[in-house]
A = this chain, B = another copy of it.
Amino acid sequence: MAVYTQLGAETLSALLAEFDVGALRSAKGIAEGVSNSNWLIETSGRNGSGARFILTMYEMRVAIEDLPFFLGLLDHLAARGCPVPRTIHDRKDRPFRKLGDKAVALIEFLPGVSVSAPTPGQARAVGGALAQVHLAGADFPHQRVNDFGHAHWRELADACGADALASIDPQLGALVARELALLAERWPADLPRSVIHADLFPDNVLMLGDTVSGLIDFYFACTDLTAYDVAVTHAAWCFDADGRRFDPALGATLLAGYEAVRPLSDRERAALPLLARGAALRFVLTRAYDWVNTPPGALVTRKDPLAFARRLEFYADPANARCFEP
């Protein structure tokens, strides 16, 4: 969470002149996003009454070849009424530009704040917004592989290494091996697929009270099992931060909110416990990789892999399958 690049007022003014958004009035580097630099920009607006935007500079991880997918998806979903920010195109209708050797995009600013301790009403709203994305994304014409999806978990575990997993917790290697084997055998291949957000943590949802005002940070969005996105969101919203306590009311309202917009098929619902194990494993693996590869004192705060190992154990317990029942 940092601003990796300094942009002077002169550079920003020249950049904004390429868009029909008025003159620069304010620019604040914001501590948002893990691998991009972001600025909250205020301009005079087209009619002088002021307008705000997020300027994103893609620093790492996000491949420029993927930008048409990510930014096109925002426009596609926004046009269908989803609470996602539109991309502001430049005067030549390009959704992103280069600034020096880096790509930058100007994105609609949406109000709202990220909650730390969701209420059932908020979980219901998030479920509904996720379902809305899944329905609206049905006719999105582009595909993108899920780089952190089921097909990649073994290589992610190998990239961590057994020693590294053991250095985090003596039991972690065995847990990962057990789940990799089980998920390789049982992963459902024939459930409905669609564009998914794949990272819908509370950080990536802006809320005003119990209303979702914005879903943001679509830079893990991809094409994968639709119900897997429900499982990711369940794992992200329904536990306390360290994964020790599951909140049944949040789980129930999240699913009810989702199904009020897009009912799950019986096969999707039956697969949820397994999909949730996969979702928890995905975050165990990426967090473990970051844990062992992030130097102490680096700009990025490391997140505890064990918070998701605990969720994984929860989902692996057959007694907890009932949390996915209607």
Contacts and interface: CB of A to CB of B under 8 A. Distances in A.
B111 A8 contact: no
Contact of A298 (B8, B112, B117, B297): B297
Contacts of A26: 111-113, 206
A9 B42 contact: no
A27 interface: yes
By CB atoms of chain B within 10 A, which of A26, A32, A206 has the most? A26
A8 B40 contact: no
Contacts of A32: 28-29
Given A2-B31, A40-B30, A116-B10, A25 B208 contact: yes
B40 A115 contact: no
Which one of A29, A31, A298 has the greatest number of beta carbons of chain B within 10 Å? A31
Interface in A1-40: 1-3, 8-13, 24-32, 40
Q: Which of A12, A13, A25 has the most CB of B within 10 A?
A: A25
Interface residues of A, number: 34
A299 interface: yes
A207 interface: yes
A175 B31 CA distance: 39
Interface in A86-137: 111-117
B3 A29 contact: no
Contacts of A1: 2-3, 29
B27 A29 contact: no
A170 interface: no
Contacts of A207: 9
23 contacts: A1-B29, A2-B31, A3-B31, A8-B114, A8-B115, A9-B115, A9-B116, A9-B207, A10-B116, A11-B116, A13-B113, A25-B113, A26-B112, A28-B28, A28-B30, A28-B31, A29-B30, A29-B32, A30-B40, A40-B40, A42-B111, A297-B297, A297-B298
Interface of A: 1-3, 8-13, 24-32, 40, 42, 111-117, 206-208, 295, 297-299
